[in-house]
Chains A and B, each alone.
Chain A
Amino acid sequence: MQTSNKTVWVLGFVLWTLIAAAAEKPVVPPAETDPNKNPYDSGIKPTPVCEIDRMVFARLEKLGIQPANICSDAVFVRRAFLDVIGTLPTAKEAKEFIKDTNPKKREELIDELLKREEFIDYWTMKWCDILRVKAEFPINLWPNAVQAYHRWIRTAIRDNMPYDKFVRELLTANGSNFRVGPVNFYRAVQSKEPNGLAQAVALTFMGERAEKWPQERLDGMAGFFSQLSYKSTREWKEEIVFFDSTRTNKDGVVATKAVFPDCKEFKFSPDRDPRLVFADWLVSSDNKWFARNIVNRMWSWLLGRGIIHEPDDIRSDNLPVNPELLAYLEKELVASKWDLKHIFRLILKSRTYQLSSVSGPRNQEAEANFARYPLRRLEAEILIDALNQITGTTEKYTSAIPEPFTFIPEDQRSVELPDGSITSSFLEQFGRPSRDTGLESERNNKVTADQRLHMLNSSHIQRKLEQGPKMVYLLKKASSPREVVGGLYLMILSRLPTEQEARAVVNYTESSGVKGRDVAIDLAWALINSPEFLYRH
């Protein structure tokens, strides 16, 4: 029985390899790459199709750097799904995209992804990192307020709220932390003193680290937040955030003026909340910080690195690598009436975004100038969601403190967790940000030995592979080993195997003595442990 099983496997492979090789001929025959050895690179040199490309490639040419080739369709579909909606394409989605002969398919995919529900979840998570959505120490929003804050952010992203409006509401809201989501911006800080609030505002919306400013400048800006007060109500952990023109500072004095970061002074009048005045100043199209901060961040989210880097450490002595590019994106954002999806589209439809990770020069300068798409390890939440999608499994998230206990429904994806303090050793191990400071660098996507241990050999991952209903289903439904292998490759790596890979699997069945479904489990194990799976590429 076992021998005949094995024979079927081997025969299936050989047959399938031949078919696969014939079916997978790319539309444009590559000049210098063999898709059977390199499934990542189309072999096509990029030509500019938009302003972004012209600016990026001009800069590269000036530096004498040859950009990488355009990535293959298989790479593109995976990259776009992960980058735009934080979700792995299903086997079907990947296969259909690869097979599609429409020359506009890449642009169309971007448009479709921007409309997906997962887009909202993924970017809500990103904003919750920056806006520090966390119930517990040291942010201490508490669960009800986390829900309100998260819901407000999610709705804003769902409705593609113009960015100027989004920020204005966060900066000027008054009311209960349970009912008015955005007031929690001023509660999600470690220091509620005016200086602490000014630092949070400068970091979040100007991309500057105000603790590096001269004290005078920080104090000046802090004035705008000096008349913000908090009071509790009779409901447990409810807090009202409001404008209080009589609030005194720690020396018992009521502030009378504030100074904008560009040095203009503003004198208070008792009937006008100085936060409104500050918001007017900040969200104006003339403000040199406002648009720059957000377009630079968005660029870094999609291309792994800011035009000014780190994206939240903008300083006069930290120059953009490509000032024209930054200025162009700023102009586009203002002209689109602060439509962030417009900026997403511009970047995602450029050839710059389509560059391969495998070709092109690998030095720091080339990377800093976007000559190729950089490898980035999947974020913790994205990684576990991808593993769950592949295997058809779920995670259990609960929170025992503070009472009452929180139970997250099991079918909810990790990317949808509203509260950064939900305990999860996996998410912590893989670098989920603590949401203590709102710094981009809080999210740690570096690989560590204990992460490798977990992926290679933990019961958590092993159980998913062995018992995951989707794995079981694939093994039961597949009519041939070919289908199993092809299915696993599409599910996990969003592509079909190369001839060489197919041969390696055949060899494995022959040399290891592993049989039947264990072969499929070992193959799935190997694929989820390959850098190709673990990294965006």
Chain B
Amino acid sequence: MKSNPITQEIWNNGNLHVTRREAIRRTLLGTAGLMLADRVVPFAKAAPRTPTAKSVIQIWMWGGPCHLDTFDPKPEAGNDYCGPLAKTLETNVKGIRIGEMLPELAKQADKYTILRGMTHGINGHETAAYEVQTGRKPGDGQVYPAVGAVVSLFKGYEAGYKGLLPPYIVLTELQGRFSEAGFLGSRAKPFATGGDPAKNPFVVEGVVAKGITEKRQKDRRELLQNLDTMGQIMKDDPRLKDNEKCEQAAYDLILGDAGKVFDLSQEKETVRNQYGLNTFGQSCLLARRLVERGVPYVTINYKGWDTHKAHFQTMRKNLPVLDKGFASLLQDLSDRGLLASTIVWWGGEFGRTPKIQWEAPWNGGRNHYGKAFCHVVAGGGFKGGQVVGATTANGEEVKDRPIYPPDLIGSFYQLLGIDPNAKLPHPQGQDVRVMSANNADGKERRGGLLTEIM
């Protein structure tokens, strides 16, 4: 259905002429955020270098995978550290070896860099997830927005993004307790697809409804309009106009072309198979499709890595899925020329105890470990085929080049051209910047931006 054209309109405040696209942009943000935004421009000026990245795909390893089992293997550390995963694989970059369960990723090592010096020392899921994704220590009275919220603010509608797809999309579920938007509030909340991209149809919550034909959608919409007696009487009410614009934006996804991005059956069978016919694999494929359409930030919220018990059984099950999906994503982005402008960020809130807990009730599990872990970054201006930082012989300490969350996040912002000193729109008008000043209160440790690979 062609959407009803909303012609140029006058908003009740300040006779501002607003086009339809502008109106959609605003409604997606919510009008509250807009007023704030208008006060806080200009954004993202004075970037220190030419931005190379346009989008970010964050593979969020919820629960925290173990560095020893993945990208920082320690075959010499012995059975108490490696358990049954004691072998390593040579990658396509000489000298870099990764865990035995990641053969596909071993063929892609030239595209990514392994950050083996990750550390923050926090062992609680929430606090660690907060710090890794905001670059801030909790406790100063602010709830900071996560990277995705900041990027969607500086690369989204307020910075000229024109897409009909929301600028910040989470596949498939929100992170729950960890509020992605922080004090930015609803303007920066991600759109969570819900559903399962490995199922047919992929029921994207709100966009695709199972069992409702397109004809019935259109008929219903007409019925809704015909029955909207209040709207007909109060045509000039600004609140109802806001409502109408939001509804229009929603229908652009339900009935318009924009929503077709979620239809993975448009992809070739071979491509779908390559990524893996499972939730994670198809999420990676969808992330590629979203980035292709210009969505600035996509999070794949990949659960199931909090393996206190049955650790190695879970690794045998999960790592091949990870390997296939992640490796295909890198290859595909690269083949399509998208990798150069897309940061791919892989990692969780912490690592897991290098020393295996053989005792009951863990029976060969690994606990939370914030002291040393690893992340992987690729694309968007990051060099591939590198390793930054190193851990000690059994992976328990960072011995070389520590990388703290703000180092990582600050590097993303630099590649994206987001000024770390730009003001964030704060609901109480407080002066809060994208990044905290270095070591402002002596609490925050930094290892420096990832200049080695930028």
A residues near B (Cβ < 8 Å) are: 37-40, 136-138, 190-191, 196, 209, 211, 357-358, 362, 364, 375, 377, 401, 421, 423, 425, 428-429, 431, 434, 436-437, 439, 441-442, 444, 446-454, 456-460, 462, 498, 500-501, 504-505, 507-508, 511-512, 514, 522-523, 525-527, 529-532, 534-535, 537
Contact A362 B229 (CB under 8 A): no
CA A13 to CA B31, docked complex, whole Å = 41
Least CB distance, A522 to chain B, in whole angstroms: 5
19 additional A-B residue pairs with CB within 8 Å, beyond A446-B32, A456-B254: A138-B143, A211-B428, A377-B239, A401-B126, A425-B173, A442-B427, A444-B186, A446-B242, A447-B242, A448-B27, A448-B28, A449-B24, A450-B28, A452-B246, A453-B206, A457-B206, A523-B227, A531-B228, A531-B240
Q: Does any Cβ of A come within 8 Å of B399's Cβ?
A: no
Q: Which interface residue of A441, A523, A531 has the most chain B CB atoms within 10 A?
A: A531
Selected from A428, A449, A501, the residue in CB contact (under 8 A) with B246 is: A449
Query: For residue A507, which residue of chain B has the nearest CB?
Result: B226
Cβ of A457: which chain B residues have Cβ within 8 Å of it? 206-209, 212, 217, 250, 254
Contact B207 A453 (CB under 8 A): yes
The 28 listed contacts between A and B (C-beta, < 8 Å) are A39-B229, A190-B141, A209-B428, A375-B237, A375-B239, A425-B173, A431-B186, A434-B179, A447-B242, A447-B246, A448-B27, A448-B28, A448-B29, A449-B27, A449-B28, A450-B189, A452-B243, A452-B246, A453-B205, A453-B207, A453-B253, A457-B254, A462-B209, A462-B210, A501-B227, A525-B224, A526-B220, A531-B243
Query: For residue A528, which residue of chain B has the nearest CB?
Result: B224
Contact A375 B205 (CB under 8 A): no
Q: Given A137-B126, A459-B205, A500-B229, are A534 and B243 also a contact pair (CB < 8 Å)?
A: yes
Least CB distance, A474 to chain B, in whole angstroms: 18
CA A280 to CA B223, docked complex, whole Å = 60
Query: For residue A448, which residue of chain B has the nearest CB?
Result: B30
Interfacial residues of chain B within 230-275, with CB under 8 A of chain A in the complex: 230-231, 233-234, 236-240, 242-243, 246-247, 249-251, 253-254
Digit string of B384-403 for contact with A (CB within 8 Å is 1, else 0)? 00000000000000000000
Q: Does any Cβ of A come within 8 Å of B219's Cβ?
A: yes
B interface, how many residues as a size bin? 35 or more
Selected from A138, A454, A500, A532, the residue in CB contact (under 8 A) with B206 is: A454
Q: Does any Cβ of A come within 8 Å of B5's Cβ?
A: no
A to B contact number (C-beta, < 8 Å):
191
CA A508 to CA B224, docked complex, whole Å = 10
Q: Does any Cβ of A come within 8 Å of B177's Cβ?
A: yes
Digit string of B188-224 for contact with A (CB within 8 Å is 1, else 0)? 0101101000000001011111101001110110111
Q: Does any Cβ of A come within 8 Å of B174's Cβ?
A: yes
Cβ of A137: which chain B residues have Cβ within 8 Å of it? 126-127, 130, 138, 143, 177
Contact B227 A421 (CB under 8 A): no
Q: Given A450-B191, A452-B249, are A512 and B219 also a contact pair (CB < 8 Å)?
A: yes
Q: Given A439-B428, A446-B186, are A537 and B177 also a contact pair (CB < 8 Å)?
A: no
Cβ of A136: which chain B residues have Cβ within 8 Å of it? 126, 177
Query: For residue A518, which residue of chain B has the nearest CB?
Result: B216
CA A500 to CA B233, docked complex, whole Å = 13
Q: Does any Cβ of A come within 8 Å of B176's Cβ?
A: yes
Contact A423 B224 (CB under 8 A): no
Least CB distance, A405 to chain B, in whole angstroms: 13
Query: For residue B179, which residue of chain A has the nearest CB?
Result: A434
Contact B223 A504 (CB under 8 A): yes
Interfacial residues of chain B within 77-119, with CB under 8 A of chain A in the complex: none
CA A409 to CA B405, docked complex, whole Å = 39
CA A504 to CA B224, docked complex, whole Å = 10
Selected from B32, B208, B216, the residue in CB contact (under 8 A) with A512 is: B216
CA A523 to CA B191, docked complex, whole Å = 28
Query: For residue A357, which residue of chain B has the nearest CB?
Result: B234
Contact B250 A532 (CB under 8 A): no
Q: Does any Cβ of A come within 8 Å of B320's Cβ?
A: no
